[in-house]
Structure 1
């Protein structure tokens, strides 16, 4: 399986589909259908169209995107999506890859259905396993307290973090610098926006395509834990248009925490089956192929050939 295209049902009458880098392999008519679904969710979710991110149909965004789309299993109507994006970085002199959490939009009728575990952690878990359990850096840009809190809950290593005394490591800072230097377009931040490295605050962030997402503090959805609300209220200038850049590391402890704490018990068997299938394709099948002496492996010839 070169690119992910997984589908299954979860409790609550919701169908999940995860599509990886559709711009590299989907037929044009399939891409248009996918974009139409995403744009319909945006119109219902925020009340107007967006000229931002994946919904613009930009070919580069489609080539780098990993999209999780949720649909009503009875009607087939799309009800929510999360559009993530791959970003190539350099960390400690070595090429690395990060996954930006991107745009999350939910139909108002489905906002209390307990779908956060799908929208904020599922895709990261699948990509982590697909990468052979190699650590994966995660980023998030927002001024919404509810999202700041949800990301901090889903990724305990996230910084800034209103709930835990996470230390801002040198790797956190290096990843943030690389993102701000090379990938501002991924989250619609213009070149004139500043970056406060001490607080991970992007100043005057809404000038590069994300203008329609700018909110006042009163308009922004609040988190149930007041600590997330206080962090945003005290650190961000909403009149100017500031955002937090959150950076986290998804590794084996984070994966274990996600499976044991965030995934509902009734959804764990179906998810575990798909994770096992990915693991077989990523780890065990290459090993079996390598051990077969009768099949050529790159420049290596089968046993018995002259």
Structure 2
């Protein structure tokens, strides 16, 4: 299980905790939730979220990964929470096998520190760590948003993302199967009520802000734009912002996505970037096939199917 804290900037510290409700003492878990709520109070302007981890859902705390960025007020002084991401772990089935979808979940950043590139840590780094601790097996991810900046980030960071305006985006049966299961069983993870509709052709959730996430509803003008206009146009065309629609995006993190993330965050000209890329390439060429071969009791998708019970 991941439980890491490290210095991530001149005055920044980052902590990532996997399934805190199952592995941390109650007092430490409550402190994490208090830190999340402190950030949310700065972002929502007195509004409150009523679902998931922020609402005190004990079960969600056992099935999530929390990333919090802290800012040190002085060199040796206290750290204050300034940004977080809560990534939910959703149990689903694919090809008659149980699997897990990592839902990118709720991200909030203190308005006073926006523009410092924290999204790369909050979104990508946590997913890369989960991918590596899973021995490099491709992992499905999901994302629910109406914000063009977020929809574009997901489409450009992960592999096989649908929906997206990219010309290679396509809806496979796996995409559809996962989206159907998430909408049927896991709406509470992203605050969508039972009355919300789901357009299976476009992967659009209609009237999405009725299950505790009301405070997150935005107009198109309020939603942060992406630097590439095609994502802004795509969201405006697909979503009814007055009604409160969301995209549900399904994709994967695999070796290609992890390598792309490292190249974007740590360019190959730097020592960190070169080290990361060498490790990823080494894993791709040597270590991953060896791990796959020496794990006869685990299913590895197309590399080796699950053993059939007698």
- TM-score (normalised: structure 1): 0.84
Of the three residues 113, 116, 134, the one matched with 2:116 is 113
Q: Aligned residue for 2:17?
A: 19
- 1:271 is displaced (CA, Å) by 9.3
**CA displacement 1:233-265 (0-9 Å, x = unmatched):** 111111211100000111122112222233456
Q: Aligned residue for 1:253?
A: 256
In the alignment, is the contact (CA less than 8 A) between 1:11 and 1:267 conserved in 2? Answer: no
In the alignment, is the contact (CA less than 8 A) between 1:88 and 1:96 conserved in 2? Answer: yes
5+ residue gaps, structure 1: 288-306
Relative to structure 1, is the Cα distance of residues 258 and 269 closer, same or farther in structure 2, using a 3 angstrom cutoff?
Answer: closer
In the alignment, is the contact (CA less than 8 A) between 1:188 and 1:207 conserved in 2? Answer: yes
**CA displacement 1:8-41 (0-9 Å, x = unmatched):** 1123432111001000021121112111111111
Relative to structure 1, is the Cα distance of residues 268 and 117 closer, same or farther in structure 2, using a 3 angstrom cutoff?
Answer: farther
Secondary structure at 1:60 match in 2? helix
Q: Aligned residue for 2:305?
A: none
Q: Aligned residue for 2:301?
A: none
Of the three residues 29, 32, 39, the one matched with 1:31 is 29
Whole-angstrom distance in 2 between the partners of 1:94 and 1:203 = 30
Whole-angstrom distance in 2 between the partners of 1:238 and 1:232 = 9
Relative to structure 1, is the Cα distance of residues 164 and 72 closer, same or farther in structure 2, using a 3 angstrom cutoff?
Answer: farther
Whole-angstrom distance in 1 between the partners of 2:167 and 2:209 = 28
Secondary structure at 2:5 match in 1? strand
Whole-angstrom distance in 2 between the partners of 1:95 and 1:66 = 19
Whole-angstrom distance in 1 between the partners of 2:183 and 2:83 = 28
Whole-angstrom distance in 2 between the partners of 1:212 and 1:62 = 21
Whole-angstrom distance in 2 between the partners of 1:12 and 1:262 = 16
- 1:268 is displaced (CA, Å) by 3.2
Structure-to-structure mapping, 1:43-192, within 5 angstroms: 43-48=41-46, 49-75=48-74, 76-192=79-195
5+ residue gaps, structure 2: 295-310
In the alignment, is the contact (CA less than 8 A) between 2:87 and 2:104 conserved in 1? Answer: yes
Secondary structure at 2:161 match in 1? coil
The answer on 1:268 being equivalent to 2:250 is: no
- 1:163 is displaced (CA, Å) by 3.8
Secondary structure at 2:210 match in 1? coil
Whole-angstrom distance in 2 between the partners of 1:146 and 1:270 = 28
- 1:61 is displaced (CA, Å) by 1.0
Whole-angstrom distance in 1 between the partners of 2:224 and 2:254 = 29
- 1:85 is displaced (CA, Å) by 0.5
Poorly superposed stretches of 4+, deviation over 3 Å: 262-272
Whole-angstrom distance in 1 between the partners of 2:45 and 2:272 = 34
Q: Aligned residue for 2:214?
A: 211
In the alignment, is the contact (CA less than 8 A) between 2:263 and 2:273 conserved in 1? Answer: no
Question: What is the aligned residue count?
Answer: 278
- TM-score (normalised: structure 2): 0.83
Whole-angstrom distance in 1 between the partners of 2:197 and 2:8 = 42
Q: Aligned residue for 1:297?
A: none
- 1:72 is displaced (CA, Å) by 0.9
Of the three residues 229, 244, 247, the one matched with 1:226 is 229
- 1:162 is displaced (CA, Å) by 2.8
Cα root mean square deviation, aligned: 2.4
